[in-house]
Amino acid sequence: MNLEIRESQIEDIFATQLDEVKSILSIQDSISLISRQKILPSGNKLDLLFLSSTELLLLELKAVRSEIKFCKQVISYKDELLELQENNKLPKLPIKVYLVCPDFLEKHKIFCCQNYVIPIQFSPYNLLKNYYFKVKAVTKFINLKPSNHGLWNLHLLNRIIYSLENKQSIENLVQNTDLSRSTVGSYLRLSNELGLTIRKPLVELTNLGFKYFEKKDPLKPIDFISDEQIEILKDHITQNPFYSPATFGIYSAVEAIFSLSKNYYPVPLKEATKYFTILSGKINEWQPKAANDAFIMYSNYGIDLGLLAKLGREYYITPSGIKFMLLLELNKAIIFVNSI
């Protein structure tokens, strides 16, 4: 079965992933890219030209099985590079010539070797897979999966946050909040993932945590989250989409409703749970009850932040939720593009 891919996309990977190139060519020397799609005197374009410490490396890439004409083509490219060297338009270094194809007929390999062309067979499948996992933002993204901290609403965190005007030990927090040690630990894991607290080894507020603390409404009950506090958390999530499993869980819940609204509106809990499980990367880990509980928990966070609304077992996205998703997608795109 042939891989259907544009040749230019394979070339993109070769041009940017030099370690992958070295591995495929079986060379140890460091290399750098001199030119891509270099226009030769004939008007033909050479795919890639690399420089090692001692040689020029001419690479012609193909996304299909080898043909004799490919080898003849790369031989002619070498002749043109030699001409450029004679005219002092290229460094006068030995030229090593490679023809890179996903599949080679044996007779074509022999023809290449007889004409001082090195035939290189590679796996486009492995190339694409390796590239996917090497992209920094992708790696971080695929490793993020929501976790369950047993906290059904964000406002419950206030009992912890408001006890941290000064650094505290876990024991002090247990006393001050009248919560069990295990509950305090669960709450702190969530507040850490939201960027509000840090433990080193005493528990203290981060800069974000202090901003959240300062924006509390003293006239309201402890479980009230002010509009200013909501904006602080929303901005943090949209600016740092890959910050933690908790932030990923929140925006995945909102994204599930946002995406499904094209098919159902309001969005039924059952459909939202299915889609959220897929977005979360937990399809092979969560049983139906665990998936349902996780979506309800993270959608509750979305409701606390004013991003979602719920009536019975049906979900709506709010105006703030739509704006949140658009900003989030913009920042995610910027991070991905900058990492490629």
pLDDT tens-digit map of 203-217: 899 999 999 999 998
CATH number for position 90: 3.40.1350.10
As a whole number, mean pLDDT of residues 15-20 equals 86
Q: Does 20 fall in a domain?
A: yes
128 and 160, same domain (yes or no): no
Q: Residue 136: its pLDDT value, please? A: 57
- Same-domain pairing of 37 and 101: yes
Query: Do 146 and 130 share a structural domain?
Result: no
Q: Which of residues 134, 152, 171 is at a domain's end?
A: 134
152 in the same domain as 95: no
Residue 93 maps to a domain: yes
Any domain includes 1: no
Residue 100 is assigned to a structural domain of this protein: yes
Query: Is residue 256's pLDDT more than 90?
Result: yes
In terms of Cα–Cα distance, which of 180, 177, 185, 182 is closest to 160? Answer: 177
Judge if 301 and 175 occupy the same domain: yes
Last residue of a domain, one of 134, 164, 182: 134
CA distance 63 to 54: 29
Whether residue 173 sits in one domain with residue 77: no
Q: What is the pLDDT of residue 2?
A: 64
Same domain as 180, residue 101: no
pLDDT in the model for residue 253: 93
What distance in Å separates the CA atoms of residue 118 and residue 83, rounded to the nearest whole number? 21
**pLDDT value at 151 more than 60:** yes
Mean pLDDT, to the nearest integer, of 258-272?
A: 91
Q: Name the residue range of residue 127's domain.
A: 7-134
Tell which of 99, 134, 169 closes a domain.
134
pLDDT for 206 equals 92
Does residue 68 form part of some domain? yes
Report whether pLDDT(149) > 80.
no
Is the previous residue joined to 266 through a cis bond, with omega within 30 degrees of 0? yes
Residue 154 lies in a domain: yes
